[in-house]
A and B are shown apart, each in its own frame.
Chain A
């Protein structure tokens, strides 16, 4: 085999690896979107100074904390597993926070924030909603007005990971809401 042929062969292998990375991402996240369990999360306002990022809306969740599993000690920043439940109104909440993966039920891999009154506050891994750059600021304002009232996020959960499907303000999606202004 000539040197040029070897280079071409190696290049093909490298190209295949390069393509496999985004393809694998698509595969993984599309699977969660298709077969993951749907959860509805109520939103809360986020720190406005931190929120205006331009390309996306920063999301905050009302139920971003849960009781710490008995006998466990967690340190700040540690990866934790939040077991999920659904309340009487159909909204998601965290039933326990633990350092160990639960054996049954849906869970989310999250980051421990702080403990207060036996409740572990966590950072959920799905806290962004990407939008067009020129729409994101308007969306941000709409989100802030509705957060804590009728803003909710639909998230698909599978194997500890979650992917945001849609952001709703009242009955309308955020895109419909902005276009109706």
Chain B
């Protein structure tokens, strides 16, 4: 039971006893059942945050003081400092593991310090010999030397640094060649730790931050390792699968920032849908004719589509079917591909995409009205207004075509409104 709820319950108990709602004996039994109020998380987190900030500042301060008269130091002194810094950090982390392994603050602090020391000492040695720094290689070695600490010391700070490092490492990697596939290995190295963290408490701050980094670095990996062929179905399926995963396993929270999977999946999918809804799609869709079957992109496309579909079925089974349309983009894209095969001007699929966006906007609005949730209602309105504005300023269609479409859809809205008003009046009478 969460602390806030328990605190409220314990606050109410004496009152309930005095007013005779609950007998004193029952109140005691409730207390015995839940046990004492757990100690506040606040102080522990504060301790860790201050510990981390402190070590970081001390480490950086030492480096800056040393850097001040760095060029007056002999090569030997510089090397002793560089290696001494690393050795000191290692001894500190080792001592904590030996004596204070139970203290999270000490583990996190010394592990971050050690990670920084690893990078600093390599960089300082490189600078001493005037080496042209190959940043990519440096980052890779640094991350690989640091990642064992995540497991040995059970530290989230280093896990976050590792994921951030991997993302930065990915940026200069050119698509093509073998190095790009190595990105997946790097990502896989941290997965068991994230998995364990998510299993214990996926809504804890550290777990949420790691989840964000994980989702973003996953997309960074994916965008680098897959070619542009069939990107519409690949990304549409991936965004849907991400969104559904979030709903299925990360949905027990009200705070938006604790839902990285939903946020990235939904916003990514919507962004794609809006992009594909503008202008004739034909010019954008790669139309190379049919590849020999078994080509990587096809298998991947089918695989991801099946994954998204499977997750949608799971959602429906859990009574969350109302969210499925929001992640139905892959199905729309698949129909789009078929339409493209029939008429490759791209007009049909662009219209289809607009219908889809109009449909889900209306669905979200209806859901907002039904559940009386203003936030949901406003999101739906925003989606609708965005669609209308995009189309209003979309110069790929003539004024006449847009004018007629606007008028017809507007009339449809008015008609539905009138029908609803009549029905409501009918009910009132």
Contact = CB atoms under 8 A, between A and B. Distances in A.
Nearest to B118: A18
Given A11-B93, A15-B90, A130 B130 contact: yes
Contacts of B132: 125-128
A7 interface: yes
A163 B126 CA distance: 10
B73 to A, nearest CB: 11
Interface in A15-46: 15, 17-19, 21-23, 25-26, 29, 33
B237 interface: no
Contacts of B148: 10, 14
A22 B121 contact: yes
B130 A7 contact: no
Interface of A: 4, 7-8, 10-12, 14-15, 17-19, 21-23, 25-26, 29, 33, 55-56, 125-133, 135, 163-164, 175
25 contacts: A4-B97, A7-B101, A8-B94, A8-B98, A10-B148, A10-B152, A11-B94, A12-B94, A14-B145, A15-B90, A15-B94, A18-B86, A18-B145, A21-B141, A22-B86, A22-B121, A25-B125, A26-B125, A130-B128, A130-B130, A132-B70, A132-B71, A135-B71, A163-B129, A164-B129
Nearest to A5: B98
Nearest to A7: B152
Given A14-B148, A130-B130, A163-B130, A22 B122 contact: yes
Contacts of A33: 129
For the complex, would chain B's binding face be called helix, strand, loop or mixed by DSSP majority? helix
Contacts of A56: 130
A29 B97 contact: no
A10 B97 CA distance: 11
B71 A25 contact: no
Contacts of A133: 67
Interface string B141-161: 100010011001100000000
A29 B129 contact: yes
Across the A-B interface, give the 5 residue pairs with the lowest CB-CB distance, nearest first. A29-B129, A164-B130, A15-B90, A14-B148, A22-B125
Nearest to A127: B132
Contact of B131 (A15, A19, A23, A29): A29
Contacts of B70: 132
Contact of B122 (A17, A21, A164): A21
Contacts of B153: 11
A25 B126 CA distance: 8
A56 B70 CA distance: 13
Point out which of A7, A11, A128 has the most chain B C-beta atoms below 10 A from its C-beta: A11
A10 B147 CA distance: 13
Interface in B16-70: 67-70
B82 interface: yes
B127 interface: yes
